[in-house]
Structure 1
Amino acid sequence: MNFLVELVLFLPLMIIFYLECFVKLFIPKKRKSVTGEIVLITGAGHGIGRLTAYEFAKLKSKLVLWDINKHGLEETAAECRKLGAQAHSFVVDCSNREDIYNSAKKVKAEIGDISILVNNAGVVYTSDLFATQDSQIEKTFAVNVLAHFWTTKAFLPSMMKNNHGHIVTVASAAGLIGIPFLMAYCSSKFAAVGFHGALTEELDALEKTGIKTTCLCPNFINTGFIKNPSTNLGPTLEPEEVVNELMNGILTEKRMVLVPSLLKILYVFDRLLPQRYWEILKRKINVKFDAVVGYKAKEQ
């Protein structure tokens, strides 16, 4: 009962903060400088990771690029150097904890302390529960969320010592709202969003206010990982559009970046609308993509 009374007493504050947020919509937020910052990006050999590396290179950051794909990694590093940035590439398997820890030691010894960590590497399997192999489920969690723990444990201590840094979690809209035939992926991305939220709160509890966090949750992106995606939320996103939103979120120290912004409304609806109404709304959204369904095969 005391808590409910306190909640009512805090209502005027909520109104004030809503007004503050509304006013800030019309005031451009200052973008911080990342010149000279050492930025590590996982999954930098293609897609979002590659384009994010290019943007940091343009801003004169020092790049440390990780990917399991050596060819793609070297292409990204070469382009970053053309843009005038220092770029160091490491072939790393982000599904392997020891590989992450060993590579982190090399980075710290050869290059220095990471001040911006972009946990971007990810894998996805478009299939139902029965068609998804056990090894695929394990790899999905190893890359999409467990790797975030290992990289953060490796690089966060120096950030905490200096009370300066930024940890970026690349998640997904599938980490906010469940999608059929992406069970392993959704589960791992829900975990990634939870990781971001808990890490943010932990840093706050430890009074490490100089370390910022950002979580990216985009809808389908045209990177080829999911075949023939479509939804009534709008066209499939282009990687450049998503990276533009991500960089703006990092440079303005925004905690959550949802692309498109309509996802913010759906995220709230998922929690507030009556279940039957939400089910009708989801059918109207009409999410589709090519997937393997093994349920009938298992029945036989």
Structure 2
Amino acid sequence: MHFALETLYVMVMSVYYTMEALIQLVVPSRRKSLAGDLVLITGAGSGIGRLMALELASMGARLVLWDISQEGNRETARLVKGKGATSVHSYLCDCSNKAEVYTVADQVKREVGDITILINNAGIVTGQKFMDAPDSLIEKSMEVNSNAHFWTYKAFLPAMIATNHGHLVSIASSAGLIGVNGLADYCASKFAAVGFAESVALELLATKKYGVKTTIVCPFFISTGMFDGTITKWPSLMPILKPDYVAKKIIHAIQTDQTYLYMPRSLYLIIALKNILPTKTGLLLGDYLGAFNFMDAFRGHGKRDSGIK
């Protein structure tokens, strides 16, 4: 296309898409039905994973639950059946183990069918300064929080591409958008998860697989236990998020094909400012928001958890 014509096209469409986004702030987007969809949730045995399963059960979705905790997964299965879910399948799976992911994925495809909505939710946090964190825990953070996304996509994306239908959901973190003092390995793993999900989304668009949707979720700290003890300087601006609220917002984002979901809403402005302000101004803003001290009182709960990002 001629340079002038292509430039004009971009300008016109930019105005159109901006107006469309503004209208959607006032007029709610239409929600697609999730009834009958086969949804796989990793880290379904507790926290946000369990809450999303409960939300989806009430919408008529068929559920495949993965977790490293058999007890937690069974409890989630029991709860979703109480919500009226008629198709629930739970599998023990360590998402940090590539071979195990592929093995269990093959079992799911044989026993249940092709996944239409994949929610990569499993996650862990070391919660230690970089120089204090054992190498084994750093490796585990990368394996669970980012590498596992590679293996689940490899396992379930081909069927979505073949039918040009599906939805990939990456539960990342605000720590995948901006570095946090005391979370070096966690931030690295979540930055990787965000970059990976964005790149796959572009591959799908480039190959015109418009029926396979993607959603990247980046919440601030959530009060489910994984980040126990973390503090926020200005709760009205950057609140510790409630689990029920987060789960509902994620499901709404899936129903409306929302590409990015940041929580709280103030995060959209903060990330924008980070990218345009001078470095020293950005650091001043980070200090004002308490970003250097989020982890000062971190306790965690001393074990792996998949319920908070």
Between the aligned partners of 2:61 and 2:5, the Cα distance in structure 1 is: 50
- Equivalent position of 1:298 in the other structure: none
1:265 to 260, 264, 269: 269
- Equivalent position of 1:79 in the other structure: 79
Between the aligned partners of 1:6 and 1:208, the Cα distance in structure 2 is: 23
CA deviations on 1:247-277 (whole Å, 9 max, x unpaired) are 1100000000000011111111111011111
**2:139 pairs with 1:135:** no
Identity %: 43
Per the TM alignment, residue 27 of structure 1 is displaced from its structure 2 partner at its CA by 1.3
Between the aligned partners of 2:126 and 2:138, the Cα distance in structure 1 is: 9
Q: Secondary structure at the match of 2:170?
A: strand
Q: Secondary structure at the match of 2:26?
A: coil
Letter in 2 for 1:155: F
Letter in 2 for 1:31: R
Between the aligned partners of 2:3 and 2:245, the Cα distance in structure 1 is: 43
- Equivalent position of 1:214 in the other structure: 215
CA deviations on 1:104-159 (whole Å, 9 max, x unpaired) are 01100111111110000001011111111111111101000110010110011111
Q: Contact between 1:219 and 1:237, CA under 8 Å: does it hold in 2?
A: yes
Q: Secondary structure at the match of 1:160?
A: helix
**2:278 pairs with 1:274:** yes
Between the aligned partners of 2:134 and 2:56, the Cα distance in structure 1 is: 37
Per the TM alignment, residue 291 of structure 1 is displaced from its structure 2 partner at its CA by 4.7
Per the TM alignment, residue 23 of structure 1 is displaced from its structure 2 partner at its CA by 1.7
Q: Secondary structure at the match of 2:71?
A: helix
Gap change, CA 1:272 and 1:251, over 3 Å in 2? same
Q: Contact between 1:126 and 1:181, CA under 8 Å: does it hold in 2?
A: yes
Between the aligned partners of 1:80 and 1:275, the Cα distance in structure 2 is: 47
- Equivalent position of 2:154 in the other structure: 153
Root-mean-square deviation over aligned CA pairs:
1.8
- Equivalent position of 2:256 in the other structure: 252
- Equivalent position of 1:51 in the other structure: 51
Letter in 1 for 2:149: H
Letter in 2 for 1:99: E
Letter in 1 for 2:196: F
Q: Contact between 2:41 and 2:64, CA under 8 Å: does it hold in 1?
A: yes
Between the aligned partners of 1:29 and 1:226, the Cα distance in structure 2 is: 33
Gap change, CA 1:8 and 1:272, over 3 Å in 2? farther
Per the TM alignment, residue 20 of structure 1 is displaced from its structure 2 partner at its CA by 2.3
Between the aligned partners of 1:92 and 1:15, the Cα distance in structure 2 is: 46
- Equivalent position of 1:98 in the other structure: 99
State how 1:1-300 maps to structure 2 within 5 Å: 10-85=10-85, 86-231=87-232, 232=234, 233-287=237-291, 288-289=294-295, 290-291=297-298
Gap change, CA 1:3 and 1:197, over 3 Å in 2? farther
Letter in 2 for 1:261: R
Q: Contact between 1:90 and 1:103, CA under 8 Å: does it hold in 2?
A: yes
Between the aligned partners of 1:132 and 1:123, the Cα distance in structure 2 is: 13
Q: Contact between 1:128 and 1:291, CA under 8 Å: does it hold in 2?
A: no
Letter in 2 for 1:259: M
CA deviations on 1:72-91 (whole Å, 9 max, x unpaired) are 11000011111111211101
Select the structure with the greater relative contact order (CA < 8 A; seq sep ≥ 6): 2
Aligned residues between the structures: 291
